[in-house]
A and B are shown apart, each in its own frame.
Chain A
């Protein structure tokens, strides 16, 4: 392990091992949802992108 000047936190490091696997699944799922949204809601999505009025 690297010697660090900030405390990375043991828990946070261990958590990443767990999340690494989960995140891939979530992203994959989101991509599928987005794909279908794109087909059915193309117009709406385009308007949303054009608007640019995001937070």
Chain B
């Protein structure tokens, strides 16, 4: 039995793993609320609508008698808010508000609203913290309002105003982006928007003003339920209307670019789909997934596909595309292959690194990526092969030679110190870690695609 490192903030219970399965232990201090969650019908309402993760009570842990143990539906992969695109964060925000509204309907309220309480399963956001619900006393404002603003509203609003690379700022602030900071970064014209002015700018001002006000406990703060519902509905309609600025979504289509003609792309598609169909893997990890074209091919033969790219707008567009095509077994994430999500929080263990969360023995896709890793990031074949070998049983990798237009583009402003960037070297180094199963040359370019298996 091992307690999860992330599970220490809430005194009402904790998460632990046992024989590869995840359980939640509920302390007696939460029993009243847990019973209310069940008896009020809230649990059923949320689980039936796939808004809250389903669980069952188990009794096979006799050594922790005083606590109640529940086993939630097991999640195949845990992602973090700073890996989500605008599209995903917006949906997670709306889910949280809908859950709070539903809770109020049943006489309960969310006691926290962190984005870490949401995960993506089957292409949809789902709330995973069964212990977040508490009895609602009419008159109390929403206790988690500030947290909601920091975790959801701030990063969304910043992106609406065209501020990029938000996920990096989210990594720095484990409890959401501080409102004072958000207010400072936002352009002046955001103050002219009444909703944004009140939930961000005014909120930041109030926070600062009353921060050291200890007389507050004696003050009567009273907010009737109907007014809280007004605020929640207002937040909901505001967030529903959020859109990224136009320039951020018109990304250039790589596959329409010059290095590929339609024959090449068809050959590559055929190779990938034939190879993955043969393996029929549980998990495919598509690194540098770009438009997600090959993730979609992989999703037909794999149980789940984790596809990631460093470009936030590419991941945002992929999410939209998947929703349109009704593909649910792909999870697109913003992760930079050359600088993956670090572990953060207490003892650097609270939120795990991306590498730590990757499933073992996956099938890796690495298409048109190697030239970026070597020519732009100065990585060696040795480091790349070793890295893929840590989590991949199979590796489908495309070699892009130096004289390819895409490689040449990367070398325009850079000195070519890459004498060892040859196909012979590539094959030799990768075969130290992997066995070559098949490879195929493209008819119209010098690129080669390989199917490797781990030694």
Contacts and interface: CB of A to CB of B under 8 A. Distances in A.
A1 to B, nearest CB: 7
B144 interface: yes
Contact of B221 (A7, A14, A22): A14
Which of the listed residues B10, B142, B227, B233 has the most CB atoms from chain A within 10 Å of its own CB?
B227
B194 A8 contact: no
B234 A26 contact: yes
A4 B205 CA distance: 23
Interface string B124-148: 0000000000100100111111110
A13 B221 contact: yes
B285 interface: no
Interface string A15-28: 11111111110110
Interface residues of B, number: 53
B243 interface: yes
B193 to A, nearest CB: 11
A39 interface: no
Interface residues of A, number: 30
B230 A24 contact: yes
Contacts of B213: 10
Q: Is the interface of A mostly helix, strand, loop or mixed?
A: helix
B198 A22 contact: yes
Interface string B51-92: 000000000000000000000000000000000001100100
B438 interface: no
Contacts of B134: 2
Contacts of A20: 223-224, 227-228, 230-231
B249 A6 contact: no
Contacts of B143: 2, 4, 6, 8, 13
Contact of B145 (A2, A16, A52): A16
A11 B207 contact: yes
B275 interface: no
Given A15-B203, A16-B228, A55 B233 contact: no
B418 interface: no
B320 interface: yes
A11 B209 contact: yes
Contacts of A26: 194-195, 234
B211 A27 contact: no
Contact of A17 (B141, B147, B194, B195): B141
Interface of A: 1-2, 4-24, 26-27, 30, 52-55
